[in-house]
Amino acid sequence: MDETTAGALAGIKVIDLSRVLGGPYCTQMLGDHGAEIVKIEPPQGDETRTWGPPFKDDAASYFIGVNRNKEGVALDLSKPAAREVLFRLLADADVLVDNFKIGTLERWGLGYREVLQERFPRLIHCRISGFGADGPYGGYPGYDAVVQGMAGLMSVNGEPGGAPVRMGVAVVDLATGMNATIAILMALVERARSGRGQFVEATLYDSAVALLHPHIANFLLNGKPPQRTGNAHSNISPYDQFKTGTKRVFLGIGNDRQFARLCNEIGRPDLPGDPRFRSNADRVANRAALREALETALATIDGEALAIRLLDAGVPAGPVMEVPDVIAHPHTAHRGMIVEMEGYRGTGNPVKLSRTPARLRSAPPRFGSATRRVLTAAGYGEAEIDGLVESGVALTEPPAGKENS
C-alpha cells in the first residue's frame, strides 16, 4: 500500500474505549485518515447499536454513522483478566481514547497518572467527559442537549420572545469529538519532538462554551446579554430566511452594494433609494417593512435559481435545503461527502488532504467481529483465546438476546 492509500495517520494505533458519539466521531476521523482503530466494546455493546430504528444487521444507523474504519473487539473490563488483555493491546498503541464516567478507569487500575503514564510512557491518553474531573460540575456525566442548556447555547437559539431551543444536531458532542481529534494530533506532533506521551482531554462543557462566538465576545466587551433573534442577525439586515415561490432562501446581505444587487435580481431596483432602506442601520430599524417588501417580490420567484444567480453576482445567498436534497445534490457528490462500500453508505470525511486523502477501508464492525484476530495479533494462542471467550472475558458475538435485526 502506498502512502496515498495508507493515509496521513498510517502506523498510528488507537485503542478506542469510547461509546455513543463524541469519542466514536473522533476515532472515525482518525481512522478515515489511516490510523488503526481497535474499538473495544463492553459486553452490552456500544449503546448506540440499539438507538434505532432504522437498523441494519446488528446495529442502528446512529452507530453505523460514526464507526467505520474500526476493528470490533469486545472485552468485559470489569474483570481483571480483561484488563490484562487491554494492557497487552496498549503495549504497541499510540493513543487510548475513553469516555467512561470519571473515576472508572482509576477504580479499575487503569488511571493515566497512577498507572498508564509510567507503564506506557509514549502513550497519549485522551479522555472525553462532560465537565472534567474537578470543579463545581467535576465528575458529572455529560449529555449533549443538557450541556447545550447549561453552557448557554440554547439561550441564543430560538425566536425572539420565545423559549430557548435545542439545536437540531448534537453540535456539542460533535464539536467535542473534533476537539479531541485536534488534541490527539497536537500530542502526536509534540511526542515526535519529546518522545513522551501525555494526558489530553476534551469536555462537552468546554466545547460548548467555546462555540459561543461572538456572543461571549460581545458580552465581555459591552456587558449586554445576547437576545434570541431566530434566523435574523441582530446587527445586519436583510440577514435572514425568506419565503419564495419555491424553496426558502437565506440572504446574508452584508453591505449596500450587495443589497442593490439583490434588489435588481428580484425586480425591485427602487428599494435602495427608499429612505427606510438606504443604509444597513436604516434596514435594521425597518426590518419588518423590508421583509414585507422582499417577500412580496420573492413570491413568484424560484428560490434555488435565485440563490445561484445571487452567488454568481457575489451576493451571499443559498436555498434552505432538506436532508434528502443535500444527499442527492451533485456538489455533495463532487466533494465526496457520501461514501459507499459493499452496501455501506455514510457521510464523507470533511478534512481533505491532497496527497494522503481520507479513505473508506471498512464498514462499521459487527460486535466482537475482530476479537480473535486482534488477540492473535497481540500474541495470544488459540487455546488462550478460547479460554478468554469461554470465561466471558472476551466476546465474539453479542450475549443472547442483545442483537438487533
Question: Which cell numbers in the block locate residue 52?
Answer: 434505532
Q: Is 2 a catalytic residue?
A: no
d(CA 388, CA 385): 5
Of how many residues is the chain composed? 405
340 near 275, Cβ under 8 Å?
A: no
In the block, cell 488507537 appears at 14
Residues forming beta bridges with residue 97, ordered by sequence position: 16, 126
Catalytic site residue from 94, 98, 144, 173: 173
Task: Kindly list the distances between the CA atom of residue 227 and the CA atoms of 153, 180, 232, 273, in Å, as whole numbers in the listed order.
Answer: 12, 31, 11, 31
- Residue of 191, 206, 22 lying closest to 97 (CA atoms): 22
User: In sequence order, what DSSP letters do the residues of 231-268 get, joined into one string?
Assistant: TS-SS-TTEEEE--SSS-EEEE--SHHHHHHHHHHTT-
* DSSP letter for each residue of 67-102: --S-EEEEE-TTSHHHHHHHHHHHTT-SEEEE-PPT
- DSSP per-residue string spanning 122-179: T-EEEEEESS-SSSTTTT----HHHHHHHTTTGGGSS-TTS-----SS-HHHHHHHHH
| Coil, helix or strand at residue 392 | coil
- Catalytically active residues, by annotation: 173
